[in-house]
Every structure is written in C-alpha cells, then in structure tokens.
Amino acid sequence: MIQQIAGGVCAPKGFRANGVHCGIRKNKVKKDLALIVADKRCATACAYTRNLVKGAPILVTKKNVADGYAQAVIVNSGNANTCNANGVEIAEAMCALVERYTGIPKGDVVVASTGVIGQQLSIDPIAAGMEELTKGLGDNSIAAAEAIMTTDTVKKEIAFTFTLGGVPCTIGAIAKGVGMICPNMATLLMFVTTDAAISPAMLQKAVSADVKTSLNMLSVDADTSTNDTLCVMASGLAGNREIVSDGADLRAFRRALHTVTSALCRMLAADGEGATKLIECRVRGAKSQKDANLAAKSVIGSNLVKAAMFGADANWGRVLCALGYSGADLNVDAIDVAFSSAAGSIVVCKDGRGIGFSEEDAKRILSEKEIVIDVSAGGGRYKATAWGCDLTYDYVKINGDYRT
C-alpha cells in the first residue's frame, strides 16, 4: 500500500537537504542554491532533455553518474549555465565546492542549473553561499524545493511510503518547471530520493520506463528546455533485499516511482506559467499504446484547446481537431468526448459528431480549477493520461519580460 507522508527528499533514510540565497538572483528574498546529500553513495539513474542545445551541467552530470552512483546534488536557479564558453568549468567548480564543504568526491555529484540561457554564471556567489548551505543541511526539503524555483509560484515536494518484500520503504521528491515544458523527456528539474535498495541497472530501467507515462506526458507550452534533468538516487538504507532483476519487487518499486512522478506532473501542470487551470486528458480505447499517448499529448498541447479551457468554452471541435493531427491511428467515427470537473460531467461529442448539450452546464463544469477531457477512441484496450494547463494572457506577459 502506498501512503503519502511529509518530508519530500528528506523523508527517505539517509538524505539531508537545504536551500539558501547566495546572490545569483538580485531578489534577496528568493533562494537560489540548493543541496541534497546522502549518507552513502547511492545507486543513481537520470534522464535528460532531448534538446540538442544542452546546459553544461548536464554534460558534467552525465560524466559523474556514468558508473551508476552519486552522493549529492547541487542546483542553482536564476541562471541556466547554458551556451557559455566556460559553462563546463563552472559546473565542475560547483561539484568541487561540494567536495570541499562536505567531503563527498566531486565525481559523485549531480549538478544542475535553471534560469536564463546564455547569461554568464559566476562561481563567486555560489562559493560564498556554501558555508551557510552546508551548515543548514538537515530536514530542509522545503528550502531546497524553494531554491530551485524560477517562475514557479508554489514549491513542489512530495513523499510516500511503500513496501518491498514486506520491508517499509520511502520515496520523496522535489521538482520545478512551469515554462519551457513540452512532452519530450525531460521537461523540468526533478530530484527523487528513496531508501529502497535497487541496483543501478534496475533503477535506470525503472526510470527510463516511467518517463514514458509521466514526464513525457506533461506539456505547458511545447518548448523543450535545454537543462531538463530527472535524477533518482537510492540509498538502500531501508534494508530490503536489493532489486537486481525483474520481478514483483521491481514492479512494486515502479508503482511507487510513478506515484511520485505523476503527482508532481499534476502539480507542475497546474502551476504552468500564467495558468489558472489544470487540464488532464484521459484517452481510452486506443489501438496501441503509441496511439493513446499521441492522442492525449496532442489534446493537452493544443493552444486552441488550452485557450478554450481558459475561457470555459466547451469548444469540443478543437479536441477533435487535435486528435486528428496527432498522428495516432484513430477511427474518427468512433470518438466520444466528455468534459468533467468537480462540478459534474457532460458529454459533448458522440461517434465523432456533435450532440445537444447545455452550454450553461458546460460553462459551469469548465469554470473549475481542474478539468478532465475524457476521450473514448473506440474498442481498443490501450489508454493514456496527459497533463497540461490553460493558455492565459499572463503567459505572454511572463515571457515577454522574463530576463528583466
């Protein structure tokens, strides 16, 4: 049984965290440097952006976790350290600072940056903030979650307990990313910790499989960032029998991991830049998993659908349009569409054709904070869920003056 608890990345055994303002950001109220450390080397698995333009921290992290292990994560916000001539040098210097202040070898450090692209990042404020950052290490997941925020309006952390072979285990995470989010792994920064014992190979297998139905199904604006990183660290301190092969324990671990990642995807979508509503598209009855995924992602990625949801307009034709160009193999004459929320549910399309419905009821349903678009694609056995948000005036305002 999976149960939600408090604690974020510090909930699992063997992890401490902190976040401080070091001076990368001009706003002294906003934290801009985070650190997560483990008591021992952890099995570590990552996934990264598919953008050809990658932040320097990704290059350094890939090298450091090539052996499947890491023991710390350092992250700055306010500057992406991307497209900089000395980017790798700065990222490596951040890892060296972790070694200097914690004793953890620099080669066991995951490093990440988020913020403005193409702006020089100085190591000086980071170095100046390390003493305060490390002295405050403890049960400070919330501080770390705050320090990695950019245009996020709320901190995002979560944790759950679960069992492996009868042994209690815990998994927790923090995340950020409400802009430059499109379904193309990875579309944000997400750091997951667990005290489950699992080999690096099995952990990577779990992570690679999970992103297909979690982070890859998230979209805010169809822009894939340059710095997106998902990192999962497993300390093994729960004491379960190490997962080294396929089987019931790996399936149980994957369920716990997906519970975390999908919950955070919902939070990230709901906090999309300028967003007022979370949109969830559920597709069922598809001929294949690929078709289900393509259909769901196309609907939540459509600017016309997103704008209609902002205006609480039951313009279901835009949903059909998005399904039609999704690339999914669909029988248009078998598609049903319904909108639902806490205010109720209403069917607006049957067998690919419009039906009579109350515009007043539809308006009331679509005026809620969380909207579900249900799509029945026919008699297939495959289904998928994707998360997105509405498109508002504030999205343009936020990104029109992002640097200033």
Q: Write out the two tokens for 157.
A: 């952390």
Whole-number Å distance between alpha carbons of 293 and 2: 26
Question: In the annotation, is 150 catalytic?
Answer: no
Please give the Cα distance from 200 to 209 (Å, whole number): 14
Mind giving me the DSSP string for 349-371? EETTEE----HHHHHHHHTSSEE
Distance separating alpha carbons of residues 256 and 185, to the nearest angstrom: 20
Catalytic residue of the set 187, 224, 229, 261: 187
Contacts of 56 (CB under 8 A, 6+ apart): 81, 82, 84, 87, 88, 90, 91, 113
Query: How many CA atoms, within 13 angstroms, populate the side-chain half-sphere of residue 23?
Result: 10
- Whether residue 222 contacts residue 231, with contact meaning beta carbons closer than 8 Å, is answered with no
Q: Estimate the crossing angle of helix 56-64 against helix 87-102, to 10 degrees.
A: 50
What SS3 state is found at 40?
A: strand
219 close to 301: Cβ distance less than 8 angstroms: yes
Q: Whole-angstrom Cα distance, residue 301 to residue 325? A: 12
303-310 and 289-301 helices, crossing angle to 10°:
50
Nearest of 325, 286, 285 to residue 302 by alpha carbon: 325
Rounded distance between C-alpha atoms, residue 129 and residue 147, angstroms: 12
What Cα–Cα distance (Å) separates residue 173 from each residue in 3, 73, 170, 249, 353? 14, 12, 10, 20, 43
Which residues have a catalytic role annotated? 187
